[in-house]
Chains A and B, each alone.
Chain A
Amino acid sequence: MILEAKNINKYFKKPVPFHVLKDINFTVDDGEFISIMGKSGCGKSTLLYILSTMDTDYDGQLYLKNELVTGKSRDSLSYIRNKHIGFVFQFHYLLSEFSVLENVMLPAKKLGEKSLKEIEKAAFEKLEILNIEKLAHKKASQISGGEKQRVAIARALINNPSIIMGDEPTGNLDSHNAENVFKIFKNLSEEQGLSLLIVTHDIDFANKTDRIIEMLDGRIIS
């Protein structure tokens, strides 16, 4: 078991008190490829921010690799995100002033477990997996949206995380590119035993995953 959410509840106090997540319970197993679906505003992103440890303002417990992460200090949460969690945003969030290669290398440099040479080699491998090694030395601001999305995925992979979380990573890609990204995810989960938790509105995408978690008004309904 990679991830376990126990009785997670979240409230927004402003502008009006709002119970956004209600009794969320579920687990993610090793190598499982899960998609989360649900109407707009039902709380998918909110849940993902909690699971990714970025949001700490919730009730309930979150376990990562059977270890309780709820209540840990901000610094240790940063370390957990760095080492164990790869996050892919809906919008291609890259550091626009850095090259593609540097963007991919940064989380590994922060982790500091490998030498610069090894990190660079690993970064090239990830770029090759995603078929964008040619872009390595381009500025992040000078590549297309689909390419940026793939760079973000390469970056999420650089520290060989235990789980990848994506918030509509194919949301603004054309169907061809979306198909590509899906294949990459599928490969990762099958060949490298990586767990994936992907929020999507694309029913075709979701149907091809191992399991679909469906949400409605802050609850998991199936």
Chain B
Amino acid sequence: MNWRVIIGIAKTHLFTKIKQTAIAALGVTFGIGSYIALVSFMTGLNGMLDDLILNKTPHVHIYNEIEPSKEQPIDIHEAYANTFNIVKSIKPKQTQRKIHNALPIIHNLSKNNDVIAAIPQLKTQIFYISGPIELGGNLSGIDIMKEVEFFNFKDYIVKGTPQDLLNSDVGILLGSGVASKMSLGIGDRVQIRTAVGTNFPLKVIGVFQSGIADLDNVQSFVNLRTAQKILGVPRNHITDINVKLHDIDKAFPLAKKIEGQFNLKAIDIKTANAQFETGTNIRNLITYAVSITLLIVAGFGIYNILNMLIYEKMNDIAILKATGFSGKDVQYIFLSQAMIIGFVGGILGLLIGYIISSIIDKIAFETEALPTITTYPVNFNVWFYLIGISFAMVSTFLAGYLPSRKARKIDPVRIIRGQ
């Protein structure tokens, strides 16, 4: 096979029909360009929405649920083994929310290879007191640096810094709703009262905003040690453990294992947020459906133009065959024309797609829910570009295949006689 000759002839054909060539290539460009722009934007959006949930939600959340015992004494007693027992108005036993042996559990989890981090929290209910007003709220004692490292906590701090909280024994990071209701800002003092009635003075070192108003109106954070001091409990008093994993798919089995092993409640992220995956899948589906449709339309354009070209080039085909080019050579000439159109159109499409994505990436997009995001999210992933160009080549190959096979089968004698 003499490719230089074949490509040379293909190129000459394309250049002398530059208008049709351009139209065919533009079809591909349009298809690939919109695919790139669409998929970059859509997956960017998906990624943002996923992050919204994945980054601030622990993959496994371990806590001690206060609930009535599942087995009542009568169920265990031999004497009533064969009877039908009904116990009404079962109440939970008086227990603490604290996780027993929390520190050994955290230690144990940290050694698990699937686990990136297991972080303790101490959650409690409090009142914010400002003069005569008392506001109900939640206070969490956290390991601030680990929350920043593993759960993107910094993204939600709109005033102050994590360092400020770390360095302050009496510092509190107020929810934005709490802060605005009580007109508090950095440096102000705020009193809190625990469930048992002790008051504790704290100093506002920052404000956080999660974007979820119900949360921002009640939630505040202090250092874990501060929270333990407020409640007057020892250092091993912990109510929640948040676990982050390498592979989110392992969350469910791990949660089940923990529940079985430690007699605790463990909720995995997928159970807690079942809807989020469905949304992602549907958005991906739409993206690919639209892109494939565009490429099919472009493919038909190429098919048409190549068919036309072959009718116009009947004489050339007959001459080539008469002077010793084989059917295959002729087929490759037209197939390479399709591939050249696909390649040039595809590369241009990647370029256009990149330009459009870059423009989208610059468009301002501000939302309460996402304080860190200022422009539309775009996912610049090399894979999209590789898929895009392969897609262009494959679809033009398919579009060029039938017409080129026709060219291969043309009988030169019939054409020569026809003159």
Contact = CB atoms under 8 A, between A and B. Distances in A.
Interface residues of A, number: 29
A74 interface: yes
Contacts of B213: none
Contacts of B183: none
Contact of B5 (A91, A97, A109): A109
B319 A97 contact: no
B16 A87 contact: no
Interface residues of B, number: 27
A61 to B, nearest CB: 19
B322 A52 contact: yes
Contacts of B8: 109
A112 B413 CA distance: 25
A149 interface: no
A26 B4 CA distance: 40
A94 B319 contact: yes
The interface centre, meaning the residue of A54, A81, A87, A110 with most chain B CB atoms within 10 A of its CB, is A110
A82 B2 CA distance: 13
A97 B320 CA distance: 13
A1 B16 CA distance: 44
A55 B8 CA distance: 28
A54 B412 contact: yes
Nearest to B329: A110
A90 B5 CA distance: 26
B324 A78 contact: yes
B181 interface: no
B324 A93 contact: no
Contacts of A54: 321-322, 412-413, 416
A83 interface: yes
A75 B328 contact: yes
B327 interface: yes
B337 to A, nearest CB: 13
Nearest to B2: A112
A110 B328 contact: no
B325 interface: yes
A63 interface: no
B328 to A, nearest CB: 7
B167 interface: no
A81 B323 contact: yes
Given A45-B417, A54-B412, A55-B413, A95 B316 contact: yes
Contacts of A78: 321, 324-327, 329
Interface string A72-96: 0011001101110001011101110
B13 interface: yes
B413 A107 contact: no
A97 B13 contact: yes
B323 A106 contact: yes
Contacts of A95: 316, 319-320
Contacts of B326: 74-75, 78-79
A111 B316 contact: no
Interface string B305-338: 0000000000110111111111111000000000
A155 interface: yes
A110 B9 CA distance: 11
Contacts of A81: 322-324
Interface string A29-53: 0000000000000000100010010
A26 B25 CA distance: 54
A89 B320 CA distance: 13
A116 to B, nearest CB: 9
A77 to B, nearest CB: 9
Contact of A91 (B2, B320, B325, B419): B419
Interface in B1-57: 2, 4-5, 8-9, 12-13, 16
Contacts of B417: 45
A83 B324 contact: yes
Contacts of B319: 93-95
A157 B321 CA distance: 16
A79 B9 CA distance: 19
Contacts of A82: 323-325
A110 B325 CA distance: 7
A75 B327 CA distance: 8
A107 B324 contact: yes
B16 A93 contact: no
Contacts of A89: 322, 416
The interface centre, meaning the residue of B324, B326, B329, B416 with most chain A CB atoms within 10 A of its CB, is B324
A109 B4 CA distance: 9
Interface in B361-419: 412-413, 416-417, 419
B12 A98 contact: yes
A106 to B, nearest CB: 7
Contact of A87 (B5, B12, B323, B419): B323
A148 to B, nearest CB: 12
Q: Which 3 A-B pairs have the closest CB atoms?
A: A82-B324, A78-B326, A109-B5
5 contacts: A78-B324, A81-B322, A93-B315, A109-B2, A110-B325
Given A75-B327, A78-B321, A110-B329, 8 more contacts: A54-B416, A55-B413, A78-B327, A91-B419, A95-B316, A106-B320, A106-B323, A107-B323
